[in-house]
Amino acid sequence: MKYQGNSEFTHSQVDKVGVLITNLGTPDAPQKKQLRAYLKEFLSDPRVVEVPRLIWWFILNLVILNIRPSRSAKAYKTVWTERGSPLMYHTQDQAIALRKTLQKHYGEHVIVEFAMRYGAPSVDSVIDSMLKQGVRKLVVLPLYPQYCASTTASTFDAVAASLGKKRWMPELQFITHYHDNPDYIQAVADKIRAHWQLNGQADKLIFSFHGIPKRYLLKGDPYHCECYKTSRLIAQNLGLDESQHFTSFQSRFGREEWLKPYTDSSLRQFAKDGIKSVQVVCPGFSADCLETIEEIAIENRDYFLEAGGQSYQYIEALNADTAHIDAMSQILKPYLSSMINKSEGINVPSVQSDLANRQQLAKALGAEN
């Protein structure tokens, strides 16, 4: 009888620890065809749109996918660069920087990769690659500071679906949120301070978060509360009183009520009320993307200025800033410490002993054939 191993494992591999960071995703190109494929995958996720599947199938395929791809392609063209989608290259930069930082502290047995929940590189393909590289302990960090079923839980679904197809599932740690992590709060606050040093401080600082339908909140999703806590902690760090900052929600879709107050209508009202200058930051976005660059930095700027405002500034996301990478490292530290010997690297003697045992087993199995 011939021994058959699977493609995810060989007896000569050294066990490794993997860190997988994930974000929402992006189309392959700012064209209608690519947008249709991306939106179909995204909007078909029952975590994203909680509508009876049969009803939603008709709405999605007969209405939305015939209208929205063209509009979205036009918007994506305004933010596309030589490196492609901002969300893609910022996330790639984050993974590269995080890999260097973690390997410096924990050694080269730590593998860091990134994946997208929708589009490429997919969660399944990246996990498959990591397992083939010898990852037997995996930490997943979705880059959504505030937990939401539509984002964080959906990522877990993708991870679970991928691992459900594997014969040897790795030890898994899944980080659900970090909305109040001190290092993350400090990084955002310092980003705002740096902006103030160059541009001065506006009359009001707006914390704009991605919205979700209000009924998700009523069903128990903690996202709304975690967004407000993030705003409060950043404002406290900056020494702002309640009159100097405001929390709102952007990117609503469809006709039903979403989390309020809405960012666009709030900006119009601020201008009408005589507030001359605002600065907007998006602490729920770990990387700049369509929603921050096109919607907040351009579209909402026009709303404010057209309503009578005089100065509007968008404060960029943390992206691959050193402070952001350091914050990620600190968020990951307790998880990695439980997997790696005394935070000084993998227990090499243990690995070598285990490797020798596996090689002996492989040799014995080969002899039997």
Residue pLDDT, tens place only, 74-115: 999 999 999 999 999 999 999 999 999 999 999 988 999 999
Phi, psi for residue 210 in degrees, rounded to 5: -65, 135
Q: What is the pLDDT of residue 353?
A: 43
| Averaged pLDDT for residues 275-280 | 98
What is the b/e burial string over 321-338, where b = at least 16 CB atoms within 10 angstroms of the residue's CB? bebbbbbbbbbbeebbee
Q: What is the pTM of this model?
A: 0.89
338 — pLDDT class (breaks 50, 70, 90):
confident
Q: CATH number for 182-315: choose from 3.40.50.1400, 3.30.70.141, 3.40.50.2300, 2.170.190.11.
A: 3.40.50.1400
Over residues 313-332, the pLDDT tens digits come to 999 999 999 999 999 999 99
Task: Give counts: helices (H), strands (E), the chain.
Answer: 14, 8
Mean pLDDT of the chain: 91
Tell me the per-residue pLDDT of 212-263, one tens digit each, with 9 for 90 and over.
999 999 999 999 999 999 999 999 999 999 999 999 999 998 889 999 999 9
User: Which has more pLDDT, 348 or 169?
Assistant: 169
The confidence score (pLDDT) of residue 360 equals: 54
What pLDDT was estimated at residue 14?
73
Mean pLDDT of 137-145: 98
Cα distance between residue 199 and residue 188, in whole Å: 17
CA distance 43 to 45: 5
pLDDT of residue 37 exceeding 50, the answer is yes
The whole-number pLDDT of residue 367 equals: 46
CB contact set of 190 (below 8 Å; sequence gap of 6+): 323
Pick the CATH number of 16-26+85-177+322-352 from 1.10.3720.10, 2.130.10.10, 3.40.50.1400, 2.60.40.1260: 3.40.50.1400
By C-alpha distance, which of 294, 368, 361, 314 is closest to 10? Answer: 361
**Average pLDDT in the 300-305 region?**
98
Range from 203-207, 330-334, 351-355 carrying the lowest mean pLDDT: 351-355
CA distance 304 to 283: 20
List C-alpha distances in Å: 53 to 49, 50, 60, 148, 256.
Answer: 9, 8, 10, 20, 18
If DSSP codes are grouped into helix, strand and coil, which group holds residue 128? helix
The per-residue pLDDT for 7 is 54
| Residue 357: pLDDT over 80 | no
Domain positions in the chain are 16-26+85-177+322-352, 182-315
What pLDDT score was predicted for residue 327?
A: 98
CB atoms within 10 A of CB 133: 14
Is 291 labelled as part of a ligand binding site? Answer: yes
Which tokens sit at 317? 């996301």
* C-alpha closest to that of 112 among 143, 79, 87, 135: 135
Per-residue pLDDT reduced to its tens digit, 56-67:
999 999 999 999
- The secondary structure of residue 13, as a DSSP letter, is P
Long-range contact list for 201-204, CB < 8 A, 24+ apart? 201/279, 202/277, 202/278, 202/279, 202/311, 202/313, 203/275, 203/276, 203/277, 203/278, 204/244, 204/245, 204/246, 204/270, 204/275, 204/277, 204/278, 204/279
> Is residue 105 annotated as involved in ligand binding?
no
**Does residue 24 or residue 356 have the better pLDDT?**
24
CA 179 to CA 143: how far, in whole Å? 11
Extract the tokens encoding 228: 């407000």
SS3 string of 254-293? Answer: CCCCECCCEHHHHHHHHHHCCCCEEEEECCCCCCCCHHHH
The number of C-alpha atoms within 13 Å of 194 and in the hemisphere containing its C-beta is 14
Asked, colleague to colleague, whether 16-26+85-177+322-352 and 182-315 share their fold, the answer is: yes
Q: What's the pLDDT at 9?
A: 53
The label of the residue with tokens 């007896």 reads 11
